[in-house]
Amino acid sequence: MERILAETLPPGPPHRWARDYLFDVCRELGITRIFGVPGVNEIPWIDGTSYPENGVEYVECLHENIAIGAAMGSARMTGKPAILIVHVTPGIAHAITNLFNASRSQFPLIILCAQQQNALVVQEPLLSSDTVPLARNYCKWAHEMKSEDDMKLVLQRAFKEAMAPPNGAVFLSMPWEFTMRRIPEGDYLKGITRISPHFGPDPESVRDLADRLAAAKNPLIVAGDAVGLAGAWAELRDLAYATGAPVLQQTLSAVANYPNDDSHWQGELPNNQAGMQSAFEGHDVAFLCGFSNQAQVLIYKPSDGPLIPDSVSKLYLSNCIWDIGKNYYGDAALFADVKVALPQITARVKEVIAPLVAKQRNDTLATKADDRKKKWGCYLAQAMTQDNVWAVVIADALGRQIEQHKLQRDFVYVHEAISDPSPFQYLLPYAEPTSYYCVGGGSLGWSFGATIGIKEEKRGVQGIGTKLVVAVTGDGSSLFYPQAWWTAAHRNLGILYIITNNCEYHTLQVGLGTIVQVYGEALGYDWTPRTMNPDYLTIRDPQPDFVGIAKAMAGIEGKHIEHPAEVEPAVCDAIRYVLETGKSFVLEIKTVGLSSQQEPPNTDDAVAVTPSLRKQPHLDMVHSGPNSARQPGDAALIC
């Protein structure tokens, strides 16, 4: 039957249709995949991927949020716009949470929505609605075509906008019959306007900002996503050493914005008001470098003061005007490409700063980094004696195996271990910013789809290969889109999935404790929950079996792990299996949660956390003294 079908297929498209303008763009930009969930209206586009001369594959997913997640992973690796095709109103509605994530992390995306026929839309047909407003909040441009003659114009504008700095998503809704209109054989989309991201700053403004930074008595640098996306590790490191300033990354960084093996690296900003304030307390100047998501907290009490204290002078550098002075007045501001501007700032700082001052600061940071390493070594040793698995055991095993397999430049870690991010941010050997993948939006369920798009690409724009793609995902997040495992198997993608299963929404347990801490005795609130250990924050009775789900969904093999000594051998075997077979594998690792402890937390506790988090050293050694406002569990993100 397959042989007969193959013989009836035409060797190439018999004609050109308007849908082929899209493939003209793909050829010019080197885009080789389109992601989506099949629907009737999208068939003309999908049919175009069946012709080898178009050079584009269709990556079929089972849910639009997985499809957009895969597109995001592909876009991050290639640096090019990734194309997603969605099915009318349900399609964009299903994709909206990851579209929100994309908007917070500068992913270049083209989202094509196959609207119902133009003459029928006014009658409110099946599945149809005004889809543009659904997407507009999270896109650089959102538009619905009204004329079939606009196809080339809107496609050119869409790709131009997605690629222009800062990158972002574009949404195009078009009546699906427009894609089937015949066009002349010689009618091609001529090209896409490209705007260089490498634009420089005003020299006078550079001098002003650099002089203020050099004169600081206790400077701090916050590295945002614009640093990592520009590949500006070396440039920011030079400035960090020239000033002697510690470097914190923005909360929920989408990429690794500073090398984690450098003594200036202090991890991410805390995700709560008191912790964030303590990170800035005592600093007179903060250099906010490409700092986009500046208020990554859920619980905020205005009477406790701003997230960045007023006493701190803010200096901005960003390629996005919106992020400059967005929440705070800036004493100096540069609108420029981070990679272009940083060397100019550093050169001026070196001219005016006292070298001994920077050296003393650098020596102090080196001492603190050594202290951090020792504390984490002791913490790991303690974790190995436990009856259950702590995240540090998983991260250490994963980091060691990556090094033993010599995969430092051939792995991508996809992060959704939101209950305990610190070990994975500290202990893995990231070679480039894009060795690490996350999103700034915090809408759960981003990791599984991303692994597909990342693994589809053999090597990324920053030179990182995808021989090993590994996602570490909490059990709550894993339940959002396990359908992604079908696509991974269908596409023959070898991906390692590590599920940290504590049978609860632990981040929400931490969030509950934070609410009580902040508002429990606040004037006009005095709020306490009925219980600090509610059943609705657990995932039990029945307890999902992720290895079983993966096997049933896609025939993917897996293994359950419950004890620390089992972790590294299992990680080693799983990596070997993925590399040798080219198939995916699921490791489900049982971790401990609050709801499984013998004595549940009570409302008198500050913020109830598991023993593993309570004993975990902070990554940020600069701000972790006895007077710090940070609490155990600050590492856990509240989503």
Structure tokens at 378: 């002791």
- Tokens 């590590």 belong to 498
Buried/exposed 262-292: b ≥16 CB within 10 Å, e otherwise: bbbbbbbbbbbbbbbbbbbebbebbbbbbbb
Alpha-carbon separation of residue 313 from 182, 280, 283 (angstroms): 60, 10, 9
72 touches 101 (CB < 8 A): yes
Nearest to 415 by CA among 583, 268, 561: 268
CA distance 398 to 142: 41
Nearest to 609 by CA among 502, 466, 480, 472: 502
Cis peptide, bond prior to residue 166, ω within 30 of zero: yes
Which helix (H) or strand (E) is 94 found in, with range? helix 88-103
Phi/psi of residue 158, nearest 5 degrees: -60, -50
**Which residues have C-beta within 8 Å of that of residue 75, sequence separation ≥ 6?**
81, 82, 107, 108, 109, 453
CA distance 172 to 351: 50
Which pLDDT does position 628 carry in this prediction? 63
What domains sit in the chain, N to C, each tagged with a CATH number?
9-183 (3.40.50.970), 368-614 (3.40.50.970)
Q: At what angle do helices 338-352 and 233-243 cross, to 10 degrees?
A: 20
Q: At what angle do helices 447-456 and 64-78 cross, to 10 degrees?
A: 50
Assign residue 445 a region (left: φ > 0; alpha: ψ between -120 and 50; beta: otherwise): left
Which pLDDT does position 542 carry in this prediction? 83
Q: What is the CA radius of gyration of the chain?
A: 25
- For the entire predicted model, the pTM comes to 0.93
Run means of pLDDT, 10 residues per run, the chain, 639 residues = 47 83 97 97 95 96 98 98 97 97 98 89 88 96 94 98 98 93 93 97 98 98 99 99 98 98 97 94 98 93 95 98 98 99 99 96 98 97 95 98 98 95 98 98 96 98 98 94 98 98 71 76 78 74 91 98 98 99 98 57 51 85 70 59
Structure tokens at 138: 């999270």
CB atoms within 10 A of CB 43: 15
In 44-128, at which residue ranges do the beta strands (DSSP E only) sit? 57-60, 82-86, 109-115
**Which residues have C-beta within 8 Å of that of residue 69, sequence separation ≥ 6?**
98, 445, 446, 447, 448, 449, 450, 452, 453, 481, 484
Nearest to 248 by CA among 224, 268, 270: 268
